[in-house]
Amino acid sequence: MYDDKNLIYIFTMLECSEKIWIYTDEYSNAIDFISANEQKDLNAVNSMFIAIGEESKKINETLKQEINTKINWQHIAGIRDKISHDYRGIDEDILWFIIHNDLHKLKEALVEMVELISPLDDVLCEFLKSDYYRHLQYLKK
């Protein structure tokens, strides 16, 4: 029903989410995360949020609307814009909250989208054998 081209956007968003959790796993709070290792992990996370926001703009609008969640797609794109255009204006507590609360909800919605698209097994396997999507093996049927 939905074009498979949506998969690349969804998979990229999922992979970025997984990487954000990897990059923040060793920190217990926003302050430790923000001030660690010359902000290398913060910069990596910001890069992943930029990619998530950009890819979210490309997903079919009807597919977004079909997901029965409270995902605010405009806010996802807005986070991308905030990070890209106002780097110093990022509130670390809000970013920390998004990582540990909202990102899980987004993952659930994206996985539901994959199920709605219902890609052929060979298409799914082709994506998942890419090293870029190595953290998405849970999508295998």
Tokens at 94, concatenated: 């809000």
End-to-end CA distance of the chain: 19
pTM (2 decimals)? 0.91
Q: How many domains does the chain have?
A: 1
**Percent of the residues in the chain that have a pLDDT greater than 90, as a whole number:** 66
Range of the domain at 78: 5-139
For helices 5-24 and 103-117, what crossing angle results, to 10°? 150
Per-residue model confidence as pLDDT tens digits over 46-98: 999 999 999 999 999 999 998 877 789 999 988 888 887 776 667 888 899 99
Per-residue model confidence as pLDDT tens digits over 121-132: 888 998 899 999
